[in-house]
Amino acid sequence: MLKGEQLINVEINNMKKLLIVLFMILASSANGQSPCGDDGLCVVQFNAGFNEANKVAWLGELNDCETKFIDIQTDAAAAGKYKIVVVPTILIFSGGEEAGRFQANIMMKMEATKDEVQEKIDEIIMEDF
């Protein structure tokens, strides 16, 4: 009977490991979670070291929001999590959820202007009233 108990313990340990792996997969693929947290308005620029020449220099000049920069060359998981297909990409998060997206053109240059991104930020703020 000892072998039967050992087999049950092995099965339980395998199930625990499987549940842990499943939880880790689900947690890492959760969509809609802002890299800045779940409160307030946050604008994130995703770029890569190889595309430094096309970095959006005016991001820090935006009003009424927090800003953050993520280099997908050093944080490859972020590219998958936030579905970044071209750099630079600017994502606007409101309350932890994506509320706006601006992507570079085929030449990896941002075509959206500071005024266009600020207009989207202002629109999101007005919607919250």
Q: What is the pLDDT of residues 68-127, one digit of tens each?
A: 999 999 999 999 999 999 999 999 999 999 999 999 999 999 999 999 999 999 999 999
pLDDT of residue 25: 41
pLDDT at 4 over 90: no
DSSP helix/strand/coil, 69:
strand
Between these two residues, 49 and 8, which has the higher pLDDT value? 49
pLDDT of residue 38: 81
pLDDT of residue 21: 38
Classify the C-alpha dihedral 109-113-116-120 as positive or negative. positive
Rg of the chain in Å (alpha carbons):
21
- Which residue matches tokens 């809609």? 32
pLDDT at 22 over 50: no
Q: Over the stretch 23-78, which tens digit does the pLDDT of each residue have? A: 444 444 444 578 988 888 999 999 999 999 999 999 999 999 999 999 999 999 99
- Let me know: does 54 contact 104? Beta carbons within 8 Å: yes
Between these two residues, 7 and 22, which has the higher pLDDT value? 7
